[in-house]
């Protein structure tokens, strides 16, 4: 399986990034791409535990994209934790069951937090999706989310 790597550095300690990545209130502040909101329903932070959240299109351009793609404005997403090593590594499988005309499947993500002299360096490795278009959408969304996390850390 081909993987893709995204990286971002943050001016705060790994414990702060970990909290933003692993608590319902933290996730709600940055997890969704621009134009969407996220509400966590279940968070069982342990290996084998589950994260269930609803992502809802709220901005007009996000609503228009979802409607044009034949997708609902709100989708429930599920992830299963395959690795939890506070505060340095989080790994999970995500269920893709929202693509019209495509059978459900899973893909993996690993997030590694490394302390630096001036904060934390994050490396996110994600497996590709079923085709190039959806993989590009995933990578663009994740890059946007990492930028949103930066805004939260910096208080923007």
Domain boundaries of the chain, sorted by first residue? 3-154
Say if CB 70 and CB 99 are below 8 A apart. no
**Alpha helix stretches (DSSP H) within the chain:** 14-22, 24-30, 60-68, 132-154
pLDDT of 98 > 90? The answer is no
Q: What is the pTM of this model?
A: 0.88
Average pLDDT (115-133) is 95
End-to-end CA distance of the chain: 37
Q: Is the pLDDT of residue 150 over 90?
A: yes
pLDDT of 156 reads 61
Q: What confidence category does residue 32 fall into, taking pLDDT thresholds of 50, 70 and 90?
A: confident
Residue 11 pLDDT > 80: yes
Peptide bond into 87 cis (omega under 30): yes
Give one DSSP letter per residue of 124-145, joined into a string: EEEE--SSHHHHHHHHHHHHHH
Class of the domain covering 3-154: alpha beta
Coil, strand, or helix at residue 28?
Answer: helix
Q: Taking all residues of the chain, what is their mean pLDDT, rounded to a whole number?
A: 93
b/e sequence 74-87, b meaning 16+ C-beta within 10 Å: eeebbbbbeeeeeb
Q: Is the pLDDT of residue 1 over 80?
A: no
Does residue 101 have a pLDDT over 90?
no
Calculate the alpha carbon distances from 103 to 9, 106, 149 in Å: 36, 10, 31
Average pLDDT over residues 92-110: 90
């Amino acid at each position: 399986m081909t993987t893709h790597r995204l990286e971002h550095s943050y001016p705060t300690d790994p414990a702060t990034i970990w909290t933003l990545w692993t608590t319902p209130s933290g996730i709600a502040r940055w997890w969704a791409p621009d134009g969407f909101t996220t509400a966590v329903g279940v968070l069982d932070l342990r290996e084998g535990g589950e994260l269930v959240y609803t992502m809802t299109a709220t901005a007009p351009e996000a609503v228009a994209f979802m409607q044009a793609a034949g997708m609902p404005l709100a989708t429930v997403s599920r992830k299963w934790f395959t690795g939890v090593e506070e505060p340095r590594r989080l790994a999970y499988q995500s269920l893709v069951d929202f693509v019209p005309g495509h059978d459900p499947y899973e893909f993996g993500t690993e997030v590694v937090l490394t302390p630096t002299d001036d904060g934390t360096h994050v490396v996110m490795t994600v497996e590709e999706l079923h085709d190039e278009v959806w993989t590009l959408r995933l990578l663009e969304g994740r890059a946007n989310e990492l930028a949103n996390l930066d805004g939260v850390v910096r208080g923007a």
